Structure formats: C-alpha cells, structure tokens
C-alpha cells in the first residue's frame, strides 16, 4: 500500500493519542506479545491500542524483534521522486534550520523523510546526531513500518496522523532506547502524504506534547508548499493565456490546464465535458495519470477513450515543463454491437442533477437529510457554505442546488479555484456579465485556501452586490455564491487564517455532506452506479461481487470517499481476473485486517476454530460483537471499550446487524 492510497482528506485539527505510557507495563506487554505473537490477542493491558496494532503489522510483514538498526535505502530506486524530494527539502529548509538551532544542546534532533520513510535531512544536537547514526537514524535510513517495525516515522505514515512512540513501544530491540514524535506532511492540492517530520532523542527527552510540536513543524512546511503551489498554478494560468488559439478554446467541448502530475488546476465545464464520463472531477483531482512525467505523447495516451485533444500545449516555466493546456473534444459515441451485455435497467435510488446526466446515488438517512437540506437551500437563494471531506461530492451538491434554483440555465456552471487565484484573476472571474433576469451561481472551490489579500477583495465585491440588491432599483440579475471547503472553517476563523466578516457573508446557509463511511449500504449502490456507467462506455460485462467482497467494501472506511470508491471500480474493471470479483482482486487497503481500519481491537481475540475461514467480514464482525457483549454481560460501554470503538458506533452496529444483547 502506498502513502497516496493510505492518505485521506486533510484534517483541520490533528488527532493525537495522549495516553500515558508506563515503560514497565509496556515492557511486560511486549514480552507477552513475543511469547504469543503467533496467536495475538486484543486487548492487552499495558500497551496503547495504536502501538499494539503496529506490533501486529510488524509481525505480519516479517520484521525481526532483534533487529538493531533501520536498513539503508537504495539510491537508485529514488529517481522518479527525486524532483519531488527537492521541492520538499526546499519547503522545509527554513523551518529545519530554525528548529535545528533551537535543538543544539537539547539532546534532540529533527528529521525530514519522504513519502516512503527515507530520511532526507537531519538537524539538531550534534551528540544526538552521532548516536543516531548507530541505528541508521540518519540520511538514507529507511523507517517505514515494513522496514523498521513500529516507530514514529513509519506509524505516522501508516495512520496519517501525528504520533509518538516512546522507548519500549518500538518493535525492534535496537530502537527501544529512543523516543520519537512524528507528523505527516501532506500535499497542498490532493492532500496525499508526501513526507514526515520527526523529533527524536534518547528516552529522557520524552514529552507527550512532542507530537504536537512535530505537527506544528509539518504544518509550517505545508504552508510553504501551499504558497509555492499557488504561485506555480498562477504562473501556469498566466503562461496559458494566449498559448492556445482562441478558436481552439471556442470550438472545444472543454478546456483544461493540468500540472505536471496530471492534476486539474483549471477547467471549463469541469466534470461534465472535461472529465471522464464516469467521473465527477473537481479542481485538484487527478484528471490524467502521468506517473512517468509529462509530454504530449504521454498526455495523448492517458486521455480517456471518449475524448481527444484539438490542441496540447506544454507549459515551460524556469526551463522545465510544469504543466499543459488542453483543448478537448468529446468523440461521437459509436453504437454498441447487439451482443453487448447491458447493465440492469433497474433505476438506482438517488437524485438526477438537471440535464447534466450526473446523479447523486443513495438512500441512506444521512444522504436523504443532506438532499432535503440542499432542496431547501435552492429555494432560499442565500450564500451557502458546503462542507465535507475530500472526494465526498461537494461539487455535485453545488450543481444540484444550481439546477433546482435555475432550471433554465442548463449545464452552465462557473467554478473558481480559490487557492490558484490572485485578486486580479479573481476579479476577472467574478465580474463576468450576468444574463438579465437570471440568478447565476458562482462556485468558490476550496474557499479555505484563499489568500488574505483575495479574501479582502472578495468581501468588497460581495458587499457591493449586497448594496445593489438592497438599493432602490435592484438589478434583475443576481449572483448566488456557493462556497466549497474540506476545512473546518470556524476553526480557520478562530485561528485567524480566514476573515470572520467574510465567513459570515459566505455561510448564511451551511450544508454538510456526510462521509461515505456514514452512509451504510450506499457504498454498494454507488459501486453499482459506477459499474453500470463503465459497462455502457466500454461494452464490458458487468462485475459481480460475492458476499465476502460486499462485506469488505462495507467494512472499509473510505478515507477518499466517493472518489476513492470510483477509482476502485475503475481498477477492478481493468485488473479483475474474471467478471466475478474475489477478495484477492481488491486493493490491499480494503482487504487489510479489520483491526487496522475499524478499530475492532479484538479481531485476533480468543477466536474458536468454528469461525470458518471463508466467513464474510460482516459475519466475523457480528461474532466479535456478540462475544464482547457476552463477556461484559451486555454492558455496552465496556464492550465498546474492549472492541476499540465508540459506544454510538457499537449501538449502530447492533441495530444494523440485529444483534440481541444479553
């Protein structure tokens, strides 16, 4: 599993486990684990659940507890990501130098790693740096969990959260004299993990708040990366102006600007004509997969079969190709042969979005409540803030509100990427003339990424519009602002990163989109939705999921939400060995042990041989819940604690599975 696959949406506030660590209790738990690791049992007294789960992973990947030091990374394997490493190093340089000076004489060191856990830079106390070399806690050392077992760097990469690992909590013997606190660094566009900041020293430096220190250092680096990426996006857009003939853009079905990774930084008609027919792409999404670099040939090869390019213009900045501008055209549909097996004609529950052909699929209570709120927002015609995790479908809901509010507007929909705009560009986008007598929506994507200068500019425009609408002669046309964000905007306001007066201007109404894991069986309905679309476009037979596969899809937490589910369906259509999908066909992050994903800390508990090997994940989960309830005499609080889940989550599972409590 790669760090891209593990990483989910960027959290507004790091979730750090501040549980106390008792070295003697942890040592006893470690010895017990070693004597019983062929049949591990959860929970185990004296060790944090986070650490125990990491011990289980370390054992399953073959890490030897007697290992003394981390292995060294083979430099020849780093060629593909060397340019990314250079950007990460540059962004981290100022923070590393400042913190390194502070750590001199403090018996501590600060490390920077890449997305694979390879150490790129080290600064800090010289004596500590020398001691760290003995266990290869130095440049070139490989500290992912699959290479070095439980440690701050590797466990932060796995969990995607700031963590600390102290002394006896390390999996390998040679590392138990050390204490480390680490936090992941995330890409400012797609929020995938691109590196780790780690504070280390011998165990006497241990403080639980070191994890918060590491998280702050990671956030500083992310801000520098964000500023650099925003500047690069602006330069790409400025370089594009005039690079394509006007007729190419006017005659095209869609127009897009991508960065060198194939990510969408600007588009016209995003997700309708520019996107693949089976995708709803937002800005920052991977429009094209370009793992081996960017060129005209690679772009043409990566385009979906339904689209062709009228023109491709590579964009060179500072002597290097940094992106491309694409004028796209949708290919005419070719009638399918009569022998094609078509998907089921039964309509899936959900709501169609105007005439776009897009649909919000689902019937769960959570999604129905969100749809009802969206309907009432469309009737109110007030500035609306749409919140939700990355990949959850915020732009789809914005389109739905627009379609309900102004059915005559068709597919016209303006989206502005706030993170890629300076005030002038922002003004040009906002001040386009409106059609008389029409209420037109403006979708402000990633509003939380807006710079302070642009926030002020936007506030002035909104105040001027409000003055006109409330004046003696209000205009017949009006601009309806819809703002999208995956951040906790109230926290951004309290932290001083977002203007309070602008926040209240934009959030008269608030719509929160539920994450996919909160939507129950909608997971299977949405999977079926994408299967049908892929079958129609490709003419392939539809996929069939066994009960075990359905159980695995339902059990997965889907950190990437609907977007992640869509990508899994695309992968299965290409890579499944047959139309009947088995567990072996699913990505490893979905079939990983439930302990790593759901928090059920008794997955390896005293399981009887009668639990069949081929039992579905749902059946296994029911059995575990029943056993926990029986052992704790029906006490939901104690059973939830033993299972490692919250009491409300346990109650929902009892209701969903019809489990009888003792």
**pLDDT range class, residue 276, cuts 50, 70, 90:** very low
- Minimum mean pLDDT range among 26-35, 38-47, 387-396, 597-606: 597-606
- pLDDT, tens digit, for every residue of 58-105? 988 889 999 999 998 764 344 344 446 788 888 898 888 889 888 888
Close Cβ partners of 182 (under 8 Å, ≥ 6 residues apart): 152, 153, 155, 156, 162, 163, 164, 165, 196, 197, 198, 199, 211, 214
- Minimum mean pLDDT range among 117-131, 139-153, 402-416, 587-601: 587-601
- Output the DSSP codes for 220-235: HHHHHHHHHHHHHHHH
Close Cβ partners of 365 (under 8 Å, ≥ 6 residues apart): none
Show the tokens assigned to 287. Answer: 């429009």
- pLDDT, tens digit, for every residue of 559-574? 889 988 988 888 888 8
- pLDDT, tens digit, for every residue of 279-300? 445 566 677 877 777 887 788 7
User: Phi and psi for 437 in degrees, rounded to 5?
Assistant: 80, 10
* pLDDT score of 602 more than 70: no
Where do the structural domains in the chain lie, given as residue ranges? 3-228, 241-330, 365-513, 606-657
- Minimum mean pLDDT range among 7-16, 128-137, 625-634: 7-16
C-alpha pair distances (Å), 50 with each of 12, 44, 124, 522, 562? 21, 12, 28, 29, 27
Encode 357-372 in three state secondary structure: CCEEECCCHHHHHHHH
Residue range 472-480: mean pLDDT, rounded: 56
Close Cβ partners of 313 (under 8 Å, ≥ 6 residues apart): 240, 243, 244, 324, 325
Per-residue model confidence (pLDDT) at position 124 = 92
The domain made up of 606-657 has a fold known as Arc Repressor Mutant, subunit A (1.10.10)
Residue 425 and residue 1: Cα distance in Å, rounded?
Answer: 39
Show the tokens assigned to 110. Answer: 């600060």
Residue 330 and residue 290: Cα distance in Å, rounded?
Answer: 21
* pLDDT score of 464 more than 80: no
Per-residue model confidence (pLDDT) at position 463 = 81
Grouping H, G, I as helix, E, B as strand and the rest as coil, residue 161 is coil
- Minimum mean pLDDT range among 92-106, 133-147, 215-229, 280-294: 280-294
- Minimum mean pLDDT range among 125-129, 268-272, 344-348, 489-493: 268-272
C-alpha pair distances (Å), 634 with each of 43, 409, 599, 605, 658? 18, 57, 20, 18, 15
Handedness of CA 224, 229, 234, 235 (dihedral sign): positive
Q: Which CATH number fits domain 3-228: 3.30.450.40, 3.40.50.880, 3.40.190.80, 3.20.20.70?
A: 3.30.450.40
**Contact (Cβ atoms closer than 8 angstroms) between residue 180 and residue 153:** yes
**pLDDT range class, residue 511, cuts 50, 70, 90:** very high
* pLDDT score of 530 more than 70: yes
Grouping H, G, I as helix, E, B as strand and the rest as coil, residue 328 is strand
* pLDDT score of 127 more than 80: yes
Determine which helix (DSSP H) or strand (DSSP E) holds 202, and give its type and residue range: strand 193-202
Cβ atoms within 10 Å, residue 306: 14
Percent of all residues in the chain with a pLDDT value above 90, rounded to a whole number? 22
Grouping H, G, I as helix, E, B as strand and the rest as coil, residue 142 is strand
Residue 119 and residue 634: Cα distance in Å, rounded?
Answer: 49
Residue 139 and residue 128: Cα distance in Å, rounded?
Answer: 14
- Minimum mean pLDDT range among 17-26, 181-190, 638-647: 638-647
Show the tokens assigned to 356. Answer: 């776009």
Per-residue model confidence (pLDDT) at position 250 = 52
Cβ atoms within 10 Å, residue 607: 15
Q: Output Rg (C-alpha) for the chain, integer angstroms.
A: 26
Bridge partners of 444? 416, 483
Show the tokens assigned to 575. Answer: 């890579």
Strands (DSSP E) found in 264-306: 264-268
User: Phi and psi for 176 in degrees, rounded to 5?
Assistant: -75, -10
Report which of 611, 614, 637, 636 is spatially closest to residue 624, judged by C-alpha positions. 611
Residue range 164-184: mean pLDDT, rounded: 93
* Omega prior to 43 cis, within 30 of 0: yes
- Minimum mean pLDDT range among 83-97, 331-345, 503-517: 331-345
* pLDDT score of 640 more than 80: no
Residue with tokens 């042990």: 593
Looking at the domain covering 365-513, what would its CATH class be? Answer: alpha beta
Residue 305 and residue 138: Cα distance in Å, rounded?
Answer: 47
**Contact (Cβ atoms closer than 8 angstroms) between residue 264 and residue 271:** no
**pLDDT range class, residue 410, cuts 50, 70, 90:** low
**pLDDT range class, residue 108, cuts 50, 70, 90:** very high
* pLDDT score of 339 more than 60: no
User: Phi and psi for 305 in degrees, rounded to 5?
Assistant: -65, -20
Per-residue model confidence (pLDDT) at position 484 = 93
Per-residue model confidence (pLDDT) at position 188 = 81
Determine which helix (DSSP H) or strand (DSSP E) holds 475, and give its type and residue range: none
Report which of 82, 96, 85, 125 is spatially closest to residue 221, judged by C-alpha positions. 96
* pLDDT score of 273 more than 90: no
Q: Are strands 544-545 and 509-512 parallel, antiparallel or unpaired?
A: unpaired
Greatest mean pLDDT range, 87-96, 290-299, 412-421, 456-465: 87-96
* pLDDT score of 49 more than 70: yes
The alpha carbon of 222 is separated from its chain's Cα centroid by a whole number of angstroms, namely 15
**Contact (Cβ atoms closer than 8 angstroms) between residue 544 and residue 581:** yes
* pLDDT score of 632 more than 60: yes
* pLDDT score of 534 more than 90: no
Residue 553 and residue 565: Cα distance in Å, rounded?
Answer: 9
Residue 62 and residue 24: Cα distance in Å, rounded?
Answer: 26
Residue 44 and residue 60: Cα distance in Å, rounded?
Answer: 18
Per-residue model confidence (pLDDT) at position 644 = 60
Residue range 194-213: mean pLDDT, rounded: 88
Grouping H, G, I as helix, E, B as strand and the rest as coil, residue 481 is strand
**pLDDT range class, residue 609, cuts 50, 70, 90:** very low
Cβ atoms within 10 Å, residue 646: 13
Residue 213 and residue 5: Cα distance in Å, rounded?
Answer: 26
Per-residue model confidence (pLDDT) at position 360 = 92
Residue range 444-448: mean pLDDT, rounded: 88
- pLDDT, tens digit, for every residue of 298-319? 887 787 766 666 677 888 887 7
Residue range 135-155: mean pLDDT, rounded: 94
- pLDDT, tens digit, for every residue of 26-36? 998 888 888 87
C-alpha pair distances (Å), 23 with each of 40, 46, 61, 170, 592? 21, 9, 25, 11, 29
Residue 594 and residue 591: Cα distance in Å, rounded?
Answer: 8
Per-residue model confidence (pLDDT) at position 533 = 84
Crossing angle, helix 522-538 and helix 547-555, to 10 degrees? 120
Residue range 491-513: mean pLDDT, rounded: 91
Residue range 355-378: mean pLDDT, rounded: 87
The four Cα atoms 500, 502, 506, 512 give a dihedral, to 10 degrees, of -40
- pLDDT, tens digit, for every residue of 423-435? 777 766 666 555 5
Close Cβ partners of 202 (under 8 Å, ≥ 6 residues apart): 107, 128, 131, 177, 178, 179
Report which of 362, 364, 365, 384 is spatially closest to residue 375, judged by C-alpha positions. 384
């Amino acid at each position: 599993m790669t760090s891209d696959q593990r990483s989910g949406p960027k959290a507004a506030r790091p979730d750090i486990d501040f549980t106390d660590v008792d070295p003697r209790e942890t040592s006893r738990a470690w010895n017990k684990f070693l004597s019983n690791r062929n049949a591990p049992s959860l929970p185990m007294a004296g060790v944090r659940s986070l650490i125990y789960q990491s011990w289980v992973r370390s054992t399953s990947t073959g890490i030897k507890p007697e290992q003394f030091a981390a292995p060294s990374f083979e430099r020849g394997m780093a060629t593909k990501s060397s340019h990314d490493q250079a950007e990460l190093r540059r962004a981290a340089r100022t923070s590393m130098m400042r913190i390194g000076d502070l750590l001199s004489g403090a018996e501590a060191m600060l490390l920077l790693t890449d997305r694979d856990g390879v150490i790129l830079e080290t600064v800090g106390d010289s004596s500590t740096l020398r001691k760290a070399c003995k266990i290869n806690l130095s440049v070139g050392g490989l500290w992912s969990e699959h290479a070095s077992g439980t440690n701050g760097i590797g466990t932060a990469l796995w969990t995607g959260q700031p963590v600390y690992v102290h002394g006896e909590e390390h999996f390998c013997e040679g590392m138990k004299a050390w204490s480390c606190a680490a936090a992941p660094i995330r890409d400012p566009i797609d929020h995938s993990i691109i590196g780790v900041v780690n504070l280390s020293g011998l165990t006497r430096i241990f403080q639980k708040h070191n994890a918060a220190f590491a998280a702050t250092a990671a956030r500083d680096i992310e801000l520098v990366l964000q500023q650099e990426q925003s500047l690069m996006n602006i330069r790409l857009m400025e370089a594009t102006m005039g690079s394509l003939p006007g007729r190419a853009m006017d005659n095209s079905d869609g127009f897009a600007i991508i960065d060198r990774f194939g990510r969408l930084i600007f588009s016209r008609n995003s997700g309708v004509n520019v996107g693949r027919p089976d995708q709803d792409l937002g800005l920052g999404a991977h429009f094209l997969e370009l793992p081996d670099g960017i060129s005209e040939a690679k772009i043409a090869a990566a385009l979906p079969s339904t689209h062709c390019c009228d023109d491709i213009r590579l964009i060179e900045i500072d002597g290097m190709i940094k992106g491309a501008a694409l004028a796209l055209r949708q290919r005419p549909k070719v009638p399918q042969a009569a022998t094609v097996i078509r998907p089921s004609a039964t309509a899936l529950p959900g709501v169609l979005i105007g005439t776009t052909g897009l649909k919000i699929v689902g019937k769960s209570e959570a999604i129905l409540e969100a749809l009802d709120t969206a309907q009432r927002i469309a009737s109110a015609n007030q500035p609306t803030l749409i919140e939700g995790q990355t990949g959850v479908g915020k732009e789809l809901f914005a389109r739905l509100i627009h379609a309900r509010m102004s059915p005559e507007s068709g597919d016209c929909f303006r989206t502005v990427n706030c993170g890629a705009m300076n005030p002038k560009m922002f003004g040009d986008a906002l001040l386009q003339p409106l059609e008389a007598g029409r209420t037109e929506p403006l979708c402000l994507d990633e509003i939380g990424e807006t710079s302070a200068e642009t926030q002020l500019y936007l506030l002035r425009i909104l105040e001027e519009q409000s003055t006109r609408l409330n004046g003696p002669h209000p205009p017949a046309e009006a601009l309806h602002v819809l703002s999208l964000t995956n951040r906790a905007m109230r926290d951004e306001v309290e932290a001083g990163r977002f203007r309070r007066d602008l926040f209240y201007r934009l959030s008269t109404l608030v719509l929160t989109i539920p994450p996919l894991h909160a939507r129950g069986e909608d997971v299977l309905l949405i999977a079926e939705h994408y299967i049908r679309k892929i079958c129609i476009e490709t003419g392939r037979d539809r996929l069939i999921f066994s009960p075990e596969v359905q159980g695995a899809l339902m059990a997965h937490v889907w950190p990437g939400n609907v977007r992640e589910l869509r990508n899994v369906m695309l992968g299965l259509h290409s890579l499944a060995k047959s139309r009947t999908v088995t567990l072996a066909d699913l990505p490893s992050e979905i079939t990983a042990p439930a302990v790593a994903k759901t928090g059920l800390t008794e997955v390896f508990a005293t399981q009887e041989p009668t639990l069949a090997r081929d039992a579905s994940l749902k059946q296994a989960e029911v059995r575990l819940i029943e056993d926990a309830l029986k052992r704790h005499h029906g006490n939901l609080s104690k059973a939830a604690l033993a299972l490692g889940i919250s009491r409300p989550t346990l109650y929902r599972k009892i209701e969903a599975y019809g489990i009888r409590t003792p």
